[in-house]
Chain A
Amino acid sequence: MIPYSSFSFFMILGILLIPVVVLGYKEKRSIVYNSFVHVVILLLAFASDIHQLVSFIVYIFWQVILVHWYAFYRKEKNEAGVFYAVVFLALVPLLVTKLLPVWSMGNIVGFLGISYLTFKTVQMIIDMRDGALKTVTVKEQLMFLLFSPTISSGPIDRFKRFQKDMETIPTREEYRLLLYKGINKIFLGFLYKFIIAYVINDRVIETPFIQAHTPLSTFIYMYAYSLYLFFDFAGYSAFAIGASYIMGVKTPENFHLPFLSKNMKDFWNRWHMSLSFWFRDYVYMRFVFWMMKKKWIQNRYTVSYIGYFLLFFLMGVWHGLELHYVAYGLYHAALMISYDYFERKNKQWKIWKKNKGTEVLSVIITFHVICFGFLIFSGRLF
Chain B
Amino acid sequence: MEIKNTVLELLEEICQTDVVKENLNIELFDEGLLDSFGVVSLLMGIEEKLGIRVGISEVDREQWSTPNKIIAALENWA
Interface set of A (CB-CB < 8 Å, partner B): 123, 126-127, 130-133, 265, 280-282, 284-286, 288-289, 292-293, 300, 304
Contacts and interface: CB of A to CB of B under 8 A. Distances in A.
14 contacts: A127-B55, A131-B55, A132-B55, A265-B35, A281-B56, A281-B57, A284-B36, A285-B56, A288-B37, A288-B40, A292-B40, A292-B44, A293-B44, A300-B37
Contact of B36 (A123, A127, A280, A292): A280
B39 interface: yes
B35 A130 contact: no
Contacts of A133: 57
B58 interface: yes
Contact of B56 (A265, A286, A304): A286
B40 A132 contact: no
A250 B61 CA distance: 17
A292 B40 CA distance: 9
B43 interface: yes
Given A130-B58, A132-B57, A285 B44 contact: no
**Which 7 A-B pairs have CB atoms at the shortest separation, nearest pair first?**
A130-B55, A132-B57, A288-B40, A132-B58, A289-B40, A127-B57, A132-B55
Given A284-B36, A304-B37, A289 B58 contact: no
Contact of B39 (A130, A285, A293): A285
Nearest to A343: B32
B37 A130 contact: no
Contacts of A123: 57
B41 to A, nearest CB: 8
Using C-beta atoms within 8 Å of the partner chain, give the interface range for chain B: 10 to 19
Nearest to A303: B37
Contacts of A285: 36, 39-40, 56
Contacts of B37: 288, 300, 304
Given A292-B44, A293-B44, A130 B57 contact: yes
Contacts of B55: 127, 130-132
Interface string B55-78: 111100000000000000000000
A131 B52 CA distance: 13
A247 B55 CA distance: 31
Contacts of B57: 123, 126-127, 130, 132-133, 281-282
Contacts of A280: 36
Contacts of A265: 35
Contacts of B39: 285
Contact of B43 (A127, A131, A284, A289): A289
Chain A CB within 10 A, most for which of B37, B39, B40: B40
Chain B CB within 10 A, most for which of A265, A280, A289, A293: A289
Nearest to A160: B57
Chain A CB within 10 A, most for which of B36, B43, B58: B36
Interface string B26-54: 00000000011101110110000000000
Interface string B6-24: 0000000000000000000
Contacts of A131: 55
A230 B61 CA distance: 26
Given A265-B35, A281-B57, A288-B40, 14 more contacts: A123-B57, A126-B57, A130-B58, A132-B55, A132-B57, A133-B57, A285-B36, A285-B39, A288-B36, A288-B37, A289-B43, A292-B40, A292-B41, A300-B37
